[in-house]
Amino acid sequence: MSVWASIEKSITETTGHAFAIRNQQPIGGGSINSAYRLDSDGQHYFVKLNQAHALDMFVAEAEGLHELARANAIRVPSPVCYGEAAGKSWLVSEFIVFGSGAGDSAQQLGRQLATMHRYTSKQFGWIRDNTIGSTPQQNSRTDSWDDFYRDRRLRFQFELAARNGFTGLLQAKGERLMESLNVFFTNYAPEASLLHGDLWGGNRAFDETGQPVIFDPAIYYGDREADIAMTELFGGFGAEFYAAYQEVWPLDAGYSVRKTLYNLYHILNHANLFGGGYASQAESMTDQLLAEI
Ligand code: ADP
């Protein structure tokens, strides 16, 4: 069966409404998968396609979207079904028509993200692993945030960097940073908040009514500062967003230092995915953090 026939069958079985693709339109903007809008009579879906080996990534994404929906704070696309056929894997979800945002959309997102971060767990991590970009992300649940962040986040990326040939000073400095990580958590014990996990500007939008939407998550339970740090990494969220977030749940004063610690994870991941320039950025961020010790 072709991949498209298999998607039609799966949508039909899951929703109970016959779905036959009338129109199929490619959608740009993604970094990992190819994406399409599928239209039937009065039904619209968003589908991501990849090689068959990516099925588990799509399963994790669907489960992540369900978990975000449970927090009932920010609109997320509802996943419909996923599967594999003809050497491809896919994830189908609700199609959301995006708009340009209303006057208070950025504030709404700030308030809603703080509400989402109030949705907490007893432990850091999650019930399953997922991916950050296409890199595996380990989420084994852990009682201590320092241990989780050091072992499941920084150490994982530093070791991957070594295997990718980023050895030498970056590694030596990374070791020193990981040995002294507790310094960044004196008098600060974060809650295990539900995080989007990959909250750069390209993973949020506004629907036609101006309501915020987040998608393409890499969820786990962790320090909410990690999500806020990522919003600052590539910019675009605006001053109103931060003011609204802080009105609901102010950030700790130490955030300005830990921001670099949290973004180091993403920059190391970028070095591992895209190479060289990001490795030197990771090294200078590590220098900056070592200067705080
Ligand atoms: P990738 O996993 O390849 O990074 P994304 O999840 O970022 O893909 O999706 C690619 C693009 O498709 C996004 O930039 C966004 O504009 C659009 N998009 C994502 N989810 C939906 C959706 N549910 N409905 C409509 N458009 C979507």
Mutate to test the pocket of ligand 1, among 25, 27, 95 (most ligand atoms within 8 A of CB): 27
The residues annotated as belonging to the active site are 198
Give the global pTM.
Answer: 0.97
CATH tag, 3-95: 3.30.200.20
pLDDT tens, position by position, for the chain (293 residues)? 899 999 999 999 999 999 999 999 999 988 889 999 999 989 999 999 999 999 999 999 999 999 999 999 999 999 999 999 999 999 999 999 999 999 999 999 999 999 999 999 999 999 999 999 999 999 999 999 999 999 999 999 999 999 999 999 999 999 999 999 999 999 999 999 999 999 999 999 999 999 999 999 999 999 999 999 999 999 989 999 999 999 999 999 999 999 999 999 999 999 999 997 999 999 999 999 999 99
> Residue 92 and residue 6: Cα distance in Å, rounded?
12
Which of 74, 82, 215 to mutate for ligand 1's pocket (most ligand atoms within 8 Å of CB)?
215
Q: Cβ(35) to ligand 1 under 6 A?
A: yes
pLDDT for the residue 30: 80
Per-residue pLDDT, 211: 98
Please state the atom number of ligand 1 nearest to the C-alpha of residue 95.
24
Nearest-atom number in ligand 1 for the CA of 29 is 14
* 215 CB within 6 A, ligand 1: yes
Tell me, in angstroms, the distance from the centre of ligand 1 to residue 182's CA: 37
Provide the CATH topology of domain 99-290: Aminoglycoside 3'-phosphotransferase; Chain: A, domain 2 (3.90.1200)
Domain ranges of the chain: 3-95, 99-290
Q: C-alpha angle 166/169/171, rounded to 5°? A: 60
Could you count the other beta carbons within 10 Å of the beta carbon of residue 261? 25
Q: Same CATH topology for 3-95 and 99-290? A: no
